[in-house]
């Protein structure tokens, strides 16, 4: 009976060592820093570039994927935009960009009703 107990205890110890090694290896691999990977092409509908503060700095998007104009924290112009690129200042307000609607020429922002930012 004691031999059977010691065999079970040995099996449990081996199992414990195996699980401990597995957990430590998973933790180690989860913190592994991957090198930058190169790619010839990516396909996305919208790219948001954020600053260190987490606010939008640049948005690049396809038709219907660009956000509405924002000034002083308020949204303006609920009309759908075409594809383009929008720039934002430190306050999170739109401060320029370029958009294109289907069948139209490129439209450069800011417009007359938007204040100029340095």
pLDDT digits (tens, 9 = 90+) for 21-68: 999 988 888 777 666 667 778 888 899 999 888 888 999 988 878 887
77 lies in some domain: yes
- 116 belongs to a structural domain: no
Quickly count: other Cβ atoms within 10 Å of residue 110's Cβ. Answer: 16
Boundaries of domain holding 59: 46-109
Nearest to 82 by CA among 109, 117, 48, 51: 109
Unique residue bearing structure tokens 């994927």: 65
pLDDT interval class at 117 (50, 70, 90) = very low
pTM above 0.75, yes or no: no
Number of domains, the chain = 1
61 within some domain = yes
Cα 13 to chain centroid, rounded: 44
């Amino acid at each position: 009976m004691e031999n059977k107990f010691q065999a079970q205890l040995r099996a449990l110890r081996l199992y414990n060592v195996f699980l401990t090694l597995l957990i430590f290896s998973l933790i180690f691999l989860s913190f592994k820093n991957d090198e930058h990977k190169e790619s010839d092409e990516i396909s996305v509908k919208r790219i948001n570039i954020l600053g260190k503060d987490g606010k939008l700095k640049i948005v690049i998007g396809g038709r219907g994927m660009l956000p509405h104009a924002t000034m002083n924290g308020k949204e303006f112009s609920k009309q759908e935009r075409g594809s383009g690129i929008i720039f934002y200042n430190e306050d999170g307000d739109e401060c320029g960009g370029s958009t294109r609607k289907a069948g139209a020429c490129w439209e450069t922002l800011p417009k007359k009703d938007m204040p100029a930012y340095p």
